[in-house]
Chains A and B, each alone.
Chain A
Amino acid sequence: MAIVRGCNLPDDLFYHVDSNVWARLEADGTITVGMTSYACSLAGQLVAATPKKIGKDVEQKQTICTVESGKWVGPIKAPVSGKLIAINEPAIDKPTLVNEDPYGHGWLAKIQPNRWDAEKASLVTGADIAAVFEAKMNADGFGGC
């Protein structure tokens, strides 16, 4: 687990840093997606989440869900390309789950990736996480989780 300015960033996950989302490669080859603890801290308590329809084909960095907090609306973007195959209904019904457990019960969507091998190079994982997020937080002027 990397901890950067108080934000937990598990080092077994893959991160699309610009989009501030994580991706977990599951045993069946699908990808689970959610917001990072850093993204949650920036947003504050989520009050609404609306996913795209299951079955939609998405490109990397395309919107898969739209969330709202403190009157701000913003997209959650796909960390990799593929088909949207599941959404986490409990988190859509009660978006504060995302704040409470961003890497567990607060996951948002599952994608069947179609270019994982090519696109995973654009994601950050393992020992690189801390430095990359430190730089992002610095650029964002972020104080800490």
Chain B
Amino acid sequence: MKKTWRILDTGLRRAAENIALNRALLEARQAQEAPPTLRFLRFTPAALLGFHQSAEQELNLDYCRAQGVTIQRRITGGGAIYFDETQLGWELYLHRSDLACADMQAISQRICTAAARGMQALGVAAHYRPRNDIEVDGRKISGSGGAFDGDALLFQGTLLMQFDVEKMLRVLRIPAEKLSDKAIASARERMANLADLLGYTPDLHMVQEKLSEAFATEFGVAFAPGELTAQEQARFSTALAEIDSEDWVHLMRRPVTDKPTLQASIKFSAGLVQVSVIYDQARNRIQQLWFSGDYFISPRRTIADLEACLRDSDAQALRRNVEVFFAQRSVDMLGLRAADFCAVVEAALAQEVAS
């Protein structure tokens, strides 16, 4: 007889409530007050910071205020995202004993791979991409992150049903030059959503059904709809009192100058390679980067995959990461070399050292 796990659909809520529910449900799972749970959720427009991020560094606060985009801090890791009604959130609340695995990266991979299978059942060729994405033909359709407390863990992901790429770029603190038509088109090439891929927006319940079927198969369980328990409601009220506050949203404050956007371009014999790097100088990490320029590379998705590989990575490990990346795949670059990508990123980072 299969074990039964709970499905919750907490509907469309404002960000503070959704994040307070994250904490309440994780605590309840840790206290063994609630069964393993799959939760679906949606947000009124919100910019969601990763737990360790600072709003000043990550977001265009003036734009958020003017557009009524709520700012909130997640309890999970990873980078800032824009979340609105056109996206579906999915989350699993599990115990380590539900997984028989303690390695956090392996857990991420297993859950994302299962979620990708659910998306495949909708008719899109979704696949897990290390470290925490789900992509379709190199274009990101889902990002994810997690939190744990003792033996309980929360793993959450997004699924883009439709998506306003331009609004996302304006919410996030992206340099103005990245908001040109060309740059927006370039960002659009890196993102995918179900409506564009399928030619229609699938029914929300159908999407939830396919995702739950995929998780049920992966974990060998059956799902049954449920409600929040009284203990979860009580924990939710307590969590909301803390999270629905400016103190929580601005728990981490760091100056914008600590995280510059650095740019460089180099003309190689095989073409021009340009890069923009958001560099976390306090931790010497590449937070995010985008390559552009004029060069040939096949398959085209290689660039998106390389950007995903280098997202939130140790700047000192750049050469090794790039070498490993290209060693793992067959890429035609007509004379461009892996080292050329390193050189242009290093040229960008060197500007910070120089300043």
Task: Identify the A interface with B (CB < 8 A).
Answer: 18-19, 42-45, 47-48, 50, 66, 68-75, 93-96, 137, 139-143
- Whether A71 lies near B283 (C-beta < 8 A) is no
Smallest CB–CB gap between B30 and chain A, Å? 11
Question: Nearest CB to that of A50 among chain B residues?
Answer: B52
Question: Nearest CB to that of A45 among chain B residues?
Answer: B314
List residues 133-163 of chain B with CB under 8 A from any CB of chain A. 144-151, 153
Smallest CB–CB gap between A141 and chain B, Å? 4
Q: How far is the CA of A97 from the CA of B199 in the complex (A)?
A: 49
Q: Which chain A positions have C-beta within 8 A of B76?
A: 71-73
Q: Which chain A positions have C-beta within 8 A of B99?
A: 141
**Listed stretches B101-109, B178-186, B213-221, B344-352; interface member:** B101-109
Which one of B102, B131, B285 contacts A70 once the chains associate, using CB atoms below 8 Å?
Answer: B131
Q: How far is the CA of A94 from the CA of B102 in the complex (A)?
A: 25
- Apart from A44-B104, A47-B283, list 13 A-B contacts with CB within 8 A: A18-B151, A48-B52, A66-B51, A70-B131, A71-B131, A72-B108, A72-B146, A73-B76, A73-B148, A74-B147, A93-B282, A139-B97, A141-B102
10 pairs from A and B in contact (CB 8 Å cutoff): A48-B52, A70-B105, A70-B132, A71-B78, A71-B108, A72-B146, A141-B96, A141-B101, A141-B102, A143-B103
In the A-B complex, the 8 residue pairs with the smallest Cβ-Cβ separation, listed nearest first, are A140-B102, A48-B52, A71-B78, A71-B77, A71-B145, A68-B77, A73-B77, A74-B148
Smallest CB–CB gap between B105 and chain A, Å? 5
Smallest CB–CB gap between B25 and chain A, Å? 15
**Most A Cβ at <10 Å: residue of B78, B100, B103:** B103
B75 within 8 A of A: yes
Question: Nearest CB to that of A136 among chain B residues?
Answer: B102
Task: Identify the B interface with A (CB < 8 A).
Answer: 50-52, 75-78, 96-97, 99-105, 108, 131-132, 144-151, 153, 252, 282-283, 285, 312, 314
**Most B Cβ at <10 Å: residue of A68, A71, A96, A137:** A71
Q: Which chain A positions have C-beta within 8 A of B145?
A: 71-73
- Whether A74 lies near B105 (C-beta < 8 A) is no
- Whether A72 lies near B77 (C-beta < 8 A) is yes
Q: How far is the CA of A68 from the CA of B75 in the complex (A)?
A: 11
Q: How far is the CA of A44 from the CA of B314 in the complex (A)?
A: 13
Question: Nearest CB to that of B100 among chain A residues?
Answer: A141
- Whether B75 lies near A73 (C-beta < 8 A) is yes
Q: Which chain B positions have C-beta within 8 A of A19?
A: 150
Question: Nearest CB to that of A43 among chain B residues?
Answer: B104
Q: How far is the CA of A71 from the CA of B144 in the complex (A)?
A: 8
Which one of B51, B283, B314 contacts A73 once the chains associate, using CB atoms below 8 Å?
Answer: B51
Q: How far is the CA of A140 from the CA of B99 in the complex (A)?
A: 9
Q: Which chain A positions have C-beta within 8 A of B75?
A: 73
Which one of B50, B102, B252 contacts A42 once the chains associate, using CB atoms below 8 Å?
Answer: B102
Q: How far is the CA of A66 from the CA of B108 in the complex (A)?
A: 19
Smallest CB–CB gap between A63 and chain B, Å? 9
Q: Which chain A positions have C-beta within 8 A of B153?
A: 72
Q: Which chain A positions have C-beta within 8 A of B103?
A: 42, 142-143
**Most B Cβ at <10 Å: residue of A74, A94, A95, A137:** A74
**Most A Cβ at <10 Å: residue of B52, B75, B149, B153:** B52
Q: How far is the CA of A42 from the CA of B104 in the complex (A)?
A: 6
